[in-house]
Amino acid sequence: MVDTAAPREPLTRTESGPLAVRLRRAGELTREVLRNPTTLMGLIVIVTLISLAFLAPLLTEPNRPDAYQMPRDWGATNAPPGTPGHLLGTTSTGGDVLYGVLWGARTSLRMSLIVVGVTMTVGTIMGSIAGFIGGKVDEFIMRIVDVLLAIPELIFALAIAAVLGPSFANIIFALSVVFWVKYARIIRGQIIHVKHNEYVDSARVIGDSKLNIYRKDVLPNSVTPVVVQATLDMGNIVLVGATLSFIGLAEAGLAEWGVLVSEGQAGISSGRWWASTFPGAMVFLWALAFNLLGDGLRDVLDPRTGGR
């Protein structure tokens, strides 16, 4: 068993090869991903939406003091699309729909980035603890995961946000509590897989620390599924988040798509369709684009579980 002369070569895998090789591989993958027209379309929409989010302060006059609050033009309530100064119309409280659409993109980007960042970190930590320590700790964490998966995402997030009281920060907190589970499962699965692999056994014999195993074997192999999951989550988080704020869990008057749809809802029976339709369509575009990209990435990076 103990083979001190074990060659170190098998320990380095393609993912952790010289930088040039890795860059070339990344280039190939990118080309392959972009060959699929629907994936490309998703990426174009994503770039457009994110550009809108960044350009919002240039395209519209930021509201003062808080730019994320809808500006109110009481002189032009319920204005239809095409009204000068209000390209996409206004709400019943004089909120400019275009402003909401643009700043909503910013809100959504902020929300999804924060939640993905937090959940990815928490999930990685929890998954690593479960995978490396194993035994009772693993058992305990995985039961938590089972229970969390037993409650539908939206309902769980809704409940958390509800007991905490209506605020956008609470929505972000609630989403973070719900969305970390999948990352924990990915990382733990990878660690257990690596643990059973021979080359890590030899690495341990040589005296590699856990940290090194982690850096060399676990992380590189987890990157792919984590990236795919994060891409899909970028879309789903906005979808669920907007649903929560539509139900009324965000502050009223926030420049957020779900809030705007909710605000516009009352007007539809009088034929004022625009205030709900445009912001809702943005949520749809956002979620669709990230889903298309995530699907495309999965097809290329992980052909085994490809959804075709």
Q: How far is the CB of 285 from another protein (least distance, A)?
A: 9
Binding to another protein in span 10-39, by CB under 8 A: 38
Q: Which is nearer to another protein, 119 or 222 (CB)?
A: 119
Asked if residue 160 binds another protein (CB under 8 A), the reply is yes
What is the footprint of another protein within residues 170-189 (CB under 8 A)?
A: none
Of residues 96 through 125, those in contact with another protein by CB under 8 A are none
Place of tokens 């990157």: 223
Give the residue, chosen from 34, 59, 155, 223, that forms a contact with another protein under the rule CB under 8 A: 155
> Which one, of 180, 179, 162, lies nearest residue 171 by Cα?
162
Using CB under 8 A, which of 165, 196, 198, 303 touches another protein?
A: 165
Candidates 235, 237, 253, 297; binder of another protein (CB under 8 A) is 235
Interaxial angle between packed helices 219-247 and 181-195, expressed in degrees from 0 to 180 and rounded to the nearest 10: 170
Residue 285, Cβ neighbours under 10 Å: how many? Answer: 17
Collapse the DSSP code of 157 into the 3-class scheme (helix H, G, I; strand E, B; otherwise coil) and give the result: helix
Q: How far is the CB of 204 from another protein (least distance, A)?
A: 33
CB 227 → another protein: shortest distance, Å?
19
The distance of closest approach from Cβ of residue 170 to another protein in the complex, given in angstroms and rounded to an integer, is 9
For another protein, which is the closer residue by CB, 161 or 194? 161
What secondary structure does DSSP assign to 43-72, as a single string?
HHHHHHHHHHHHHHHHHS---SS-TTBPPB
Among the listed residues 146, 52, 297, the one whose alpha carbon sits nearest the alpha carbon of residue 138: 146
Contact of 133 with 126, CB cutoff 8 Å: no
Closest by Cα among 112, 141, 82, 72 to 241: 112
Longest dimension (CA), the chain: 83
Find the binder of another protein among 17, 152, 169, 210 (CB under 8 A): 152
Q: Is 209 helix (H, G, I), strand (E, B) or coil?
A: coil
Interface positions, 246-305, toward another protein (CB under 8 A): 246-249, 258, 261-262, 264-265, 268-269, 271, 273, 276-277, 279-281, 283-284, 287-288, 290-292, 295
- Residue 167 as a binder of another protein (CB under 8 A): the answer is no
20, 23, 185, 200, 224 from 27: Cα distances, Å: 11, 6, 29, 29, 15
Residue (26 or 155) nearer to another protein, CB: 155
Contact letters for another protein, residues 51-90 (x by CB under 8 A)? ----------------------------------------
Contacts of 28 (CB under 8 A, 6+ apart): none
> Residues 122, 125, 154, 192: which binds another protein (CB under 8 A)?
154
Nearest CA-CA partner of 290 in 226, 233, 227: 233
- Which residues here bind another protein, judged by CB under 8 A? 38, 143-144, 146-148, 150-156, 158-166, 235, 239, 242-243, 246-249, 258, 261-262, 264-265, 268-269, 271, 273, 276-277, 279-281, 283-284, 287-288, 290-292, 295, 307-308
